[in-house]
Amino acid sequence: MLKDNLKQVEENIEKACERAGRKREEVTLIAVSKTKPVPMLEEIYEEGIRTFGENKVQELVEKYDEMPKDIKWHMIGHLQRNKVKYIVDKVALIHSVDSYRLAEEINVQAKKHGVVVPILIEVNVAEEDSKFGVKLNEAMQLAEEISLLENVRIEGLMTIAPFVENAEDNRMYFRQLKQLSVDIDAKNIDNVHMKILSMGMTGDYTVAIEEGATMVRVGTGIFGARNYNNI
């Protein structure tokens, strides 16, 4: 039952917050529902979850249309510039901005819709070839450039840590991202506020919370394993 999974995740989050001396309210759980059918999302919605993460534009838009309107949809996957227009007025947060050109397109579309879009800069802390995101030492400059765009607002940083057996192996990456957010904040760039640290997935969210995550993105831990053959 998804309800039991959710309860377990919630318990783990609470314990991690306790260990870190943090308040539960400081951490937002994002239910990552990619590849999962709407009835499963509804089950979780019934349990009070209002924040969902998707990584494909079309899937996000379809679920947006079918699900209640009080849901906050988070775009967590790689975003192509030509698809920005489909989601710009539907998302509460875009986690995956890793180039000025993408931010620029979000700005153009946001202007058309008369909205300001909150975004995170995606950082490939571990510098894995298979992952998107800027390098740690490129993030500051990108933040400075994007800060000049009127209809985009940088609210923090996001990383996807390596897939590891032992979550402890990712602790240093979470720590590095936290430090980067402190460094960027210290620069006092206009229009840039490092409020959000989106880090931690099913395998490592408790470690991420200990290191300062304010958003954890949990898919498998709530919905079970994904089957990519069915889609």
**Cβ at position 225, least distance to ligand PLP in Å:** 8
Label residue 61 exposed, middle or buried (CB < 10 Å: 0-12, 13-18, 19+): middle
Piece of 21-29, 106-114, 146-154, 196-204 that binds ligand PLP (CB under 6 A): 196-204
Q: Does 34 bind ligand PLP (CB under 6 A)?
A: yes
Residue from 13, 160, 167, 197 binding ligand PLP (CB under 6 A): 160
Q: Give per-residue burial for 180-189: e unless 16+ CB within 10 Å, then b.
A: bbeebeeeeb
Residue from 128, 183, 220, 224 binding ligand PLP (CB under 6 A): 220
Q: Does 219 bind ligand PLP (CB under 6 A)?
A: yes
Q: Does 201 bind ligand PLP (CB under 6 A)?
A: yes
Q: Does 16 bind ligand PLP (CB under 6 A)?
A: no
The residue type of 109 is Q
Structure-token pair, residue 27: 């951490």
Q: Report d(CA 213, CA 60) in Å as an integer.
A: 24
Residue 11 is inside which H or E element, if any? helix 2-20
Piece of 19-27, 44-52, 140-148, 200-208 that binds ligand PLP (CB under 6 A): 200-208
Piece of 16-24, 43-51, 169-177, 213-221 that binds ligand PLP (CB under 6 A): 213-221
Q: Are 150 and 112 in contact (CB under 8 A)?
A: no
Q: Does 60 bind ligand PLP (CB under 6 A)?
A: no
Q: Does 32 bind ligand PLP (CB under 6 A)?
A: yes
Q: Report d(CA 198, CA 154) in Å as an integer.
A: 13
Residue 208 is inside which H or E element, if any? helix 205-210
Residues within the interface to ligand PLP (CB under 6 A)? 32, 34, 55, 76-77, 160, 201-203, 217-221
